[in-house]
Every structure is written in C-alpha cells, then in structure tokens.
Amino acid sequence: MPRRGLILQTRTHWLLLGLALLCSLVLFLYLLECAPQTDGNASLPGVIGENYGKEYYQALLQEQEEHYQTRATSLKRQIAQLKQELQEMSEKMRSLQERKNVGGNGIAYQGNKEQAPSDLLEFLHSQIDKAEVSIGAKLPSEYGVIPFESFTLMKVFQLEMGLTRHPEEKPVRKDKRDELVEVIEAGLEVINNPDEDDEQEDEDGPLGEKLIFNENDFIEGYYRTERDKGTQYELFFKKADLMEYRHVTLFRPFGPLMKVKSEMIDITRSIINIIVPLAERTEAFAQFMQNFRDVCIHQDKRIHLTVVYFGKEGLSKVKYILESVTRFTKRILAFGEILALE
C-alpha cells in the first residue's frame, strides 16, 4: 500500500507539471498572436535598412522646413500690417499735434500776426501732403471712395442732383461758377508760365512763336472735395492742331478753423413757427391738434401755428377744430390761422 500511494503521488505531480507547461505554451502563443505586426523593411537606420531611413528623415525634414517657412511668412505679413497701422497712428498723432500747435500759435484766432503767415503756409502745405492727391488712401471698401464731378466751360455735371433733380446743374450757382473759372485761369497760368520743376517741354507754334493756351483750349475738368483737407481739380487742355493733351492737377487746401463770433442766444422770447400743409384728412388733423394743445400750448406757449389748407372740402371742419381748441384754451398764447387755397 505505501508503494502504490507513492506511485499515485508521483503521477499526480507530473500531471500538474504537464498542465502548467501546457498553460505556459498556450499563453506564449497568445502573446505572439496579440503582438503588433512589424514591417521588416521599416527597420531603424543601420546596416539593413539604411537607405529607407535616409529618405524617410529627409522627407520629414523637408515637411518641417515648409511648415516653418509658412509660419515665418505669416509672421512677416503680420509684422508688416502692424508697422502700417503704427505708421497710420503716428501720422494721426502728428496731425493732431500740428492742429494743436496751430491753435496754440494763434493762427486760428489771430493771436500772433507776424508768425501767422509762415505758419499758415506750412499748414496749407501739410494739408496737401496729407490729401489723397499726394499719398493716396487705403479705403475699407468701395463706399469710401470720394467721387469726382465733371465740368466744362458751360456746364457742370453733378452726382448729387439736389433740387434740380437733373445731372446737369441748371443754373450753375454763382459761387461754383466763380470757383471753376478761377481754377481754369490758374491751370492756364501753370501751362503758359511753367516752373522749372514742371514736367513739360516748351513748344513752339507753326510760325515759331511760343505756344499759348487759352480758355477755348479747355476740354474738361474733374473735381472732388475731401471735407477735412481740400478740393482736388484735374484739368485737361488741348490745341486743335496738336495730338496731345496738357494735364494739370491743382489742389485748394482748406485753412484752419477761425473764430467768427461767440454769442449767447436768449430763447425766452423766441416764437416757434409751425406750418402745416393739409388736404382733407380731418381726423388726423384733429388728433394733431389734440397733441398740439397738450404739448405746445400748455407747455411751450409761445407757438405760432399756420395751417395751409388745399381745397374747399373739409375746410369748415378744420375751422371748427381750430376754433374749439382756441375756446378750450383760456390763456392761449398761440393762435391758428387758415389759408384757403383754391
């Protein structure tokens, strides 16, 4: 019995050992199956995969270099924009400082009469330097463009048609006519008596005499106004027998602000005049008179109302409304009157 028990114990021991080895083998095979697949060609740079490693890293370096070049270009563009904005801010600050100095030196208020002419001339030149005719302008959109208006010797073509409701201004206002005549005369003076720095050559007439332009040689002109700087004029002249134009650019700079007067206006005795044109619509007029009585008569008092009525239909009702308001207001200081237009 002891010998048989020993044999059974030995077999059990080997059986457990075999099961342990079998489990170890199964676990090893499982780990091999779950391990990530490796590409034999993608080996590290060395003796076996040396050629592929160089190409890979060269492509990687090129990609990084392109990325950094793109980044550097973007930073350069941002730096250029910041420099431009800084320059514009500097110009604005310099302009504000110049205006402050102009006011302090007495140009606008005629404090120092001896210094005023030279400072004023310097200010006018600075206006020309800041205008779009000299340096151009960076506009946010097409809506910021200042349009030109054209004119000839006899006509002025306007973009804002005003009261005439016609592109051609008829009649031309005296101030505008005098302005354009002065501009044409100044352009002729520039052409006929050029300065040394003017880019034009002296030409002779058919008989050898000096070529003189007159107002009949004026073809067309354009002008536009920058409200805070001045008016730009583009003039074109041409002789009938010449195959070229003469182009003259003029600029009339605006001067600094000057005090004309400073006064106090007493409105305690001022009368407000209200004119109401009316045709029928008596119900709306009745509501208006109710508001007029509550606001104008009871509060302001010094009101003069004139009702201009067109036609006869409803006229009696309008008169009745006015009379009822007058009777209702005991201490009335405003009054109404009727003009019946047939």
Ordered DSSP codes for 122-149: HHHHHHHHHSHHHH----SSGGG----E
Q: CA-CA distances (angstroms) from residue 48 to 38, 42, 44, 93, 303?
A: 15, 10, 8, 69, 106
Instruction: Give the integer Cα–Cα distance in Å for 184 and 250.
Output: 10
Model confidence pLDDT, tens digit, residues 214-272: 999 999 999 998 888 889 999 999 998 888 889 999 998 887 777 878 888 887 778 88
Q: CA-CA distances (angstroms) from residue 100 to 97, 116, 125, 217, 255?
A: 5, 14, 16, 44, 14
Nearest to 199 by CA among 243, 134, 249: 249
Note whether 147 and 160 are within 8 A (CB). Answer: no
197, two tokens: 């720095």
pTM score over 0.75: no
* pLDDT confidence tier of residue 273, bands split at 50, 70 and 90: confident
Q: Which helix (H) or strand (E) holds 302?
A: none
Q: In degrees, to the nearest 5, what angle opens at C-alpha 290 toward C-alphas 289 and 292?
A: 60
Q: How many CB atoms lie within 10 A of CB 264?
A: 4
Model confidence pLDDT, tens digit, residues 111-141: 444 445 667 777 777 777 777 766 677 777 7
Instruction: Give the integer Cα–Cα distance in Å for 252 and 144.
Output: 21
Average pLDDT over the chain reads 76
